[in-house]
Chains A and B, each alone.
Chain A
Amino acid sequence: DVKVTQSSRYLVKRTGEKVFLECVQDMDHENMFWYRQDPGLGLRLIYFSYDVKMKEKGDIPEGYSVSREKKERFSLILESASTNQTSMYLCASSSPALTDTQYFGPGTRLTVL
């Protein structure tokens, strides 16, 4: 059973703080993704990675960066949090060699005050 976990379910930060969101998967998946989910906007891709130390910009990368030092871990970094980054953040992983199915984590609801 694939398990994707995220470091926090709820997070409250102040404007200007540096924020780290962590995602860990236990199925040796090559691909990992970060999305943000906002009402009426669906799931928007921030960044994704198809291999260790590899990263690709998604559709809304501005204000975010990522790190993938190990295959199982993909971190999303908000260098200087702003109120418009208040959102639900979802991590996902997949292994295209086996299946294209994405497996999602439970999400982190981030509030920036």
Chain B
Amino acid sequence: DAGITQSPRHKVTETGTPVTLRCHQTENHRYMYWYRQDPGHGLRLIHYSYGVKDTDKGEVSDGYSVSRSKTEDFLLTLESATSSQTSVYFCAISFSSGVFSTDTQYFGPGTRLTVL
């Protein structure tokens, strides 16, 4: 195990409610990522972080925000959940990143979110 936990593991919520997903790592890795995985779309990057308070958008960031106040925690917030955000959300960490890196991404177990 790469020391990554996600909470909650399952959540059902209603449209319009705020939702926060938590990713916690014990590896002290600099980079953290949030992906969503949907049938027919594969894994798509929502947001990522390259350090405390340093975050950037991925390819599907609309409707999501993130925060990283500590190295070990990366939070994903859906300010007002919609049914289109029903998905499985994965957190990942890596030691390094970028064009000249071949570093492994280690994934958490995922959070299954259902928005009714």
**A and B found bound together:** no
